[in-house]
Amino acid sequence: MQNKRQQFGKESEFIAVRHLKKNGYKILEQNYRNELGEIDIIAKDKGTLVFVEVKARRSDLFGNPKWALTPKKQRKISMVALYYLKAKKQSNVKARFDVVSISSAEDKPKVEIIKNAFELAYG
């Protein structure tokens, strides 16, 4: 059974997938995991492979969720993405990192796609 936080996360990812599809993204994988970590969504946007992190907040008390992606988390996502590309033999494809920011402070969630939210970060 999921707790409230897990349920909110699931609902947020559902909202993100719906918004990405509405904006022309083709969803390839959700909750991709390997021994290095997890990527929320892997999608195709035109000819680009996109690794998507979903950030959601119930209130604006701690600021906009799009600013919640720390450098440490960026490195972790980067490592998982590199592993994915190698495992799928897609090292030469064009790829980027997007963030879907969901603010549920109002009645209707505010959803924003931040393309190229960060560069490949490792080391």
Digit-coded pLDDT (tens) for 60-76:
655 565 666 888 999 99
The answer to whether the beta carbons of residues 74 and 85 sit under 8 Å apart is no
Q: What is the pLDDT of residue 58?
A: 66
Taking the chain (123 residues) in consecutive chunks of 10 residues, what is each chunk's mean pLDDT?
A: 75 92 97 95 96 81 65 92 93 92 79 91 65
For residues 79 and 58, what is the distance between their CA atoms, to the nearest angstrom?
29
Report the predicted TM-score, pTM, of the whole model to 2 decimal places: 0.89
Question: Which CATH number is correct for 4-63+70-118, 3.40.50.2300, 3.20.20.450, 3.40.1350.10, 1.10.150.670?
Answer: 3.40.1350.10
For residues 76 and 120, what is the distance between their CA atoms, to the nearest angstrom?
10
